[in-house]
Structure 1
Amino acid sequence: MFSAGQTGDTVYTYSHDEKPAVKQRQWAGLGTCTAAARWKERYYCFNGNNFTRFDPVTGQVLSPQPLDIRDYFVRCPGRGHAHGVRQNATLMSIMDRCSNRSFEAFSSDDNSRTYAFRGGVYFRLDSRKDGWHPWRLNHNWRNLDGVVDAAFTYKNRMYFIQGSQIIVYLTDQIYIPVAGYPKTIQEEWELPTVTAVDAAFTCPHSSNLYLIRGNKLTLVDLNTRKCSGEDQTIIHVMLDAAMCNSHGLYLFYGSSFFHYKNVEELLSSKVAPSPGSIASHFLDC
């Protein structure tokens, strides 16, 4: 848990998870904060009706200019952070989770948060009570933009695959880019014949990474970072995304998903299970 207080130019941060619990920092570039808050790995400095996002370690201001609380935190008629994009029907359709547009990637992390990626935007669900929230990719992962082909987490790291490139972020108080990336798929996992994937997933408490290309499933051991065994064939020829969590394995295509208990059931299946609706099952539409 994080909170902060300010006296003059000096900022005091409080953490219930670290020792010492109180730390003194200088955030000269941030200016005066009448209040500060953390929400979904974002840190906010409030001053009057305005606020700015900032890096809690360096104090670097991440908002290009101060933003109005009424456009983001308070529902006011005629206002809202999506107001400026309402003229762009395509962008509005992308940011509307219930539009039945397909998703390029799904992922679930160790804290049971679910992410859905579509057209340079991601949707995040922490709990059903809190609901889904759409954001631009670079709001959470600095310098990440464009289409995400696959995403998964392993040992407090979040991996993104875009074409043949892999980008990795540490999942700490904020998402921090790991040095040395991007790398190619071939460099990261010694897979000379793999240049792109349709989907990728890991399952809880496992070092196995599964890469899907067409109807082929490739197993990679993330501890050794090498391919393990021969490619195996699955009954699905075309997929957009895949995700494995405590409820099982989900494969996504278009506006539908297919549920399996585990990878073994997928590999042994001769007929696909009945499809479900992504919008109604996952997105509360």
Structure 2
Amino acid sequence: MRRHTVPSIKAQLVAIWPRSLSMKLLATFYLGLVLGLSASMPLEDVTNEDGGVQDATLPDRCDGIEFDAITPDEKGNIIFFKGAHLWKTFHGPAQLSNELFKELDDNHPIGHVDAAFRMHNPDNPDDHDHVYLFQDDKVFSYYNQFLKSGYPKSIQDDFPEIPSHLDAAVECPKGECVANSVLFFKGHNVHVYDIDTKLVKIKTWSHLPVCTSVLRWLEHYYCFHGHNFTKFNPVSGEVSGDYPKDARNYFMKCPNFGHGNGHEIPKCSEVKIDAITTDDQGKKYFFAGRYYMRLDSHRDGLHSFLITKAWKELTNGVDAVFSYADKLYMMKDDKVYIFKSDAHNTLIEGYPKSIKEELGIDGHVDAAFLCDGNRNHTVHIIQGKNMYDVDLSATPRAVTGDSPLPLSDIDAALCGQDGVFLFKGPTYYHYETAFTLAFSRMAPMAHPITHAMMGCQE
């Protein structure tokens, strides 16, 4: 990206969101969108597997194999292990495990993996996000595929009271479990290991299939058995819903499974974002077409989903979205849908309503944003060449400010600690504050969206 007089969009978005995120997230997001895969299918970096020739000497997970272990790595890429091989991400060909984790061969001629998990221990950077691989009675700790000094160790040296020859393991952060924990599976027994106290509680979940691998993905827990998986509660082991399900429909891209159809990656001159927002829980969303992505889920990899996966009432995408008072206001055409920001994204009774009835503005909305979250009760609504201020604390709500803009046809808007960003097709504009935007009479320089930002074709 060429140098600009204002901070680059990359620098600004990294400042607004966690610094570990870069514009690679946008590239992953847009590539996921244009692939057009089903909402149930996770997306990752594009590989050359689909439509390619499978090496007959390598196992093919689309045949319906049973995995030995599954874990995300420190970058959120999901790694699937089977025998001496692994697959990195949700699609792509198999490779030998020792190509990434060469020390596994020091313990066996061909390094199999019994269980694997990624450590969640934010209070201890020495092992947080390290990948732990278990092989018979040994444990290996890796970061960026480098073996940590002192490993491999006896499992009991690192995890007292945890048995050898495990079936599966999975991280369970505090809030999802009582404390930051690791769940170790052997048969129907689950050894719940408290990371801080090193105490172990044993539970027996005979109702759950014997898991050969377990994955925590986007705050949900999946027990893999055969070529199927079963979703379960990490505290009680409870299974709710219609399970088991075939993993090939959800956790990999396979011919005749799922509903994927590839599409050509668009040119950067064709990029278009519909809405951007951050909810009151800190979850960060991008919307484009019928798809959305959660950017704060980078530890699980970046994936796009159909909007109807989370907000089933929004069958035709969104025009603008903003968050206020633990609710998401999602606008399409002349309607506003208000959802509780809960696990089920519950539509509030009586909605949708007209935007006029809810916000005092007639017709379609192009973009919307709040600054300073719930500390500021004013939502800024962009419609054509005007920006309207609406006081959300007032009843009834009505327009309190009307400012002409030097721009029109804005697609999306975002406000953060480094200012306001307006997106218009393949370009973006930066303003220091909403006040600056309201009183500006000349448009600032338009900065082009580039391949580095969204993975599009130059």
Q: State the TM-score, normalized to the length of structure 2.
A: 0.47
Q: In structure 1, what is the equivalent of residue 277 of structure 2?
A: 107
Q: In structure 2, what is the equivalent of residue 61 of structure 1?
A: 241
Amino acid aligned to 2:408: V
Offset at 1:47?
3.7
Query: Structure 1: 5+ residue runs without aligned partners?
Result: 7-27
Q: Distance in 2 between matches of 1:135 and 1:146?
A: 14
Q: In structure 2, what is the equivalent of residue 185 of structure 1?
A: 355
Q: In structure 1, what is the equivalent of residue 370 of structure 2?
A: 202
Give a deviation string over 1:35-73, Cα, whole Å, max 9, x none.
8765435x34424132356899x965388x814169527
Evaluate the alpha carbon distance shift between residue 71 and residue 105 of structure 1 in structure 2; reply closer, same or farther with a 3 A threshold: same
Is the CA contact (8 Å cut-off) linking 1:124 and 1:132 kept in structure 2? yes
Find the residue that maps to 2:272 and give its secondary structure.
coil
Give a deviation string over 1:204-246, Cα, whole Å, max 9, x none.
2311111111111111111115124242111112211111122
Q: Distance in 2 between matches of 1:80 and 1:115?
A: 30
Q: How many correspondences in the alignment?
A: 262
Q: Distance in 2 between matches of 1:80 and 1:112?
A: 37
Evaluate the alpha carbon distance shift between residue 2 and residue 283 of structure 1 in structure 2; reply closer, same or farther with a 3 A threshold: farther
| 1:253 corresponds to 2:424 | yes
More strand by share: 1
| Same amino acid, percent of matched pairs | 28
Evaluate the alpha carbon distance shift between residue 40 and residue 47 of structure 1 in structure 2; reply closer, same or farther with a 3 A threshold: closer
Q: Which has the higher contact order (CA 8 A, sep 6+)?
A: 2
| 1:2 corresponds to 2:181 | no
Evaluate the alpha carbon distance shift between residue 68 and residue 112 of structure 1 in structure 2; reply closer, same or farther with a 3 A threshold: same
Amino acid aligned to 2:293: F
Query: Structure 2: 5+ residue runs without aligned partners?
Result: 1-174, 186-206
Q: Distance in 1 between matches of 2:416 and 2:210?
A: 39
Give a deviation string over 1:184-205, Cα, whole Å, max 9, x none.
112222x2x5121111111223
Superposition CA RMSD, Å:
4.3
Q: In structure 2, what is the equivalent of residue 86 of structure 1?
A: 261
Evaluate the alpha carbon distance shift between residue 104 and residue 47 of structure 1 in structure 2; reply closer, same or farther with a 3 A threshold: same
Q: Distance in 1 between matches of 2:418 and 2:256?
A: 34
Q: Kindly report which structure 2 residues correspond to 1:1-285, keeping only aligned pairs within 5 A, or say none.
A: 1-3=175-177, 34=211, 39-40=217-218, 43-48=220-225, 49-51=227-229, 61=241, 66-68=245-247, 72=251, 79=254, 84-87=259-262, 89=263, 93=265, 100-126=270-296, 132-189=302-359, 191=360, 194-205=362-373, 206-225=376-395, 226-278=397-449, 283=454
Based on CA coordinates, which of the two structures has the bigger radius of gyration?
A: 2
Q: Distance in 1 between matches of 2:339 and 2:210?
A: 28
Evaluate the alpha carbon distance shift between residue 247 and residue 194 of structure 1 in structure 2; reply closer, same or farther with a 3 A threshold: same
Evaluate the alpha carbon distance shift between residue 59 and residue 194 of structure 1 in structure 2; reply closer, same or farther with a 3 A threshold: farther
Find the residue that maps to 1:209 and give its secondary structure.
strand
